[in-house]
Amino acid sequence: MKKTRIRKFIGFLILSVILLGFIGFVEKQSQYKTYQGLEVQIQGVSGLYFVDSKEIESLVQEGFPNLKAGMMLEEVPLKEIEDRLKGHPFVKNADASLGQKGILQLWIEQHQPIARIARPLAADAYITTEGKIIPTSPSYTSRVLILHGPQLEKLLDQGEVMTEMPELMDLITFINGDEFWKAQITEVEVNSKTDIRLYQQVGRQVIELGDAGNLADKFERIQIFYSEILPRKGWDAYERVSVKFKEQIVCE
């Protein structure tokens, strides 16, 4: 009798453990089917972050106040969340997905500034790799090519570069793509489409580029000015250098 009771007790104990394990498993599986929180990953640009994870979390919380722990995963509006995040001026792309543990995972790609529009009487702005114009960040500054001049106001009104002056993107890309010119050319003055002037890191001469066409040829002539004319005349011999016209280098 005693052995029988022991066997029954052991059997009951085993069944209890199995039952508790099953209940825990079901609860855990049920938990994985509901929203449990979010994680944010942001792709930096040259080590800079123009938007941080707290700002992204605030955007989601403000836009979707019903997004709380316990919400069924199928009710989480992934597409709407992505669209809201893409509306942020520094966000180039956003991807929202749900992990197995009920975690909303947000992956953020930032816009990459390649030039800065400087304005003495108004807020500055960045030009991105796609030619989009975005505001500057109050927290971070990107060291990029400086642009100024009245023609840029038209671009600011458009909100992007490609419609009004796509050739300006060619110029920015040309300068940024060459280590020497990227270090030497510090500012670009854009008075009109046909009146672009370059300012140098070394040398006081204003370089008159004219329009942004035939860039390889024009910069080759500027290089000739550096390598052949300045060594003979001296760095302070001229105040203005023009390569506007084909096959000419005008120095004054």
Boundaries of every domain in the chain = 37-110, 113-251
Better-scored residue on pLDDT, 145 or 20: 145
Distances (CA, A) of 98 to 2, 26, 55, 235: 55, 20, 20, 62
What is the spatial distance between Cα 60 and Cα 130, in angstroms, rounded to a whole number? 26
What is the spatial distance between Cα 176 and Cα 146, in angstroms, rounded to a whole number? 12
Q: Which of 206, 202, 200, 191 is nearest to 242 (CA)?
A: 206
Question: To the nearest whole number, what is the mean pLDDT of the chain?
Answer: 86
What is the spatial distance between Cα 54 and Cα 27, in angstroms, rounded to a whole number? 30
- What CATH architecture does domain 113-251 belong to? 3-Layer(aba) Sandwich (3.40)
State pLDDT tens for residues 172-228: 999 999 999 999 999 999 999 999 999 998 878 899 999 999 999 999 999 999 888
State pLDDT tens for residues 128-168: 999 999 998 877 778 899 999 999 999 999 899 999 999 99
What's the confidence (pLDDT) of residue 27?
47
What's the confidence (pLDDT) of residue 173?
96
For residue 24, pLDDT beyond 50? no
What's the confidence (pLDDT) of residue 26?
42
Angle at 45 between CA 190 and CA 175, to 5 degrees: 35
What's the confidence (pLDDT) of residue 171?
97
Angle at 193 between CA 191 and CA 199, to 5 degrees: 50
What is the spatial distance between Cα 186 and Cα 35, in angstroms, rounded to a whole number? 50
What's the confidence (pLDDT) of residue 29?
47
Burial of residue 118 (number of CB atoms within 10 Å: 0-12, 13-18, 19+):
middle
Sheet holding 37-43, edge to edge: 37-43, 103-110, 91-98
State pLDDT tens for residues 64-103: 999 998 899 889 999 999 999 999 999 999 999 998 788 9
Q: 31-35, 36-40, 110-114, 187-191: which has the minimum mean pLDDT?
A: 31-35
For residue 192, which amino acid is it? S
What is the spatial distance between Cα 136 and Cα 126, in angstroms, rounded to a whole number? 6
| 3-state DSSP assignment of residue 83 | helix
Tokens 């030009």 -> residue: 127
What's the confidence (pLDDT) of residue 13?
55
Same topology between domain 37-110 and domain 113-251: no
φ, ψ for residue 89 (rounded to 5)? -60, -25
Pick the CATH number of 37-110 from 3.40.50.150, 3.10.20.310, 3.90.550.10, 3.40.630.10: 3.10.20.310
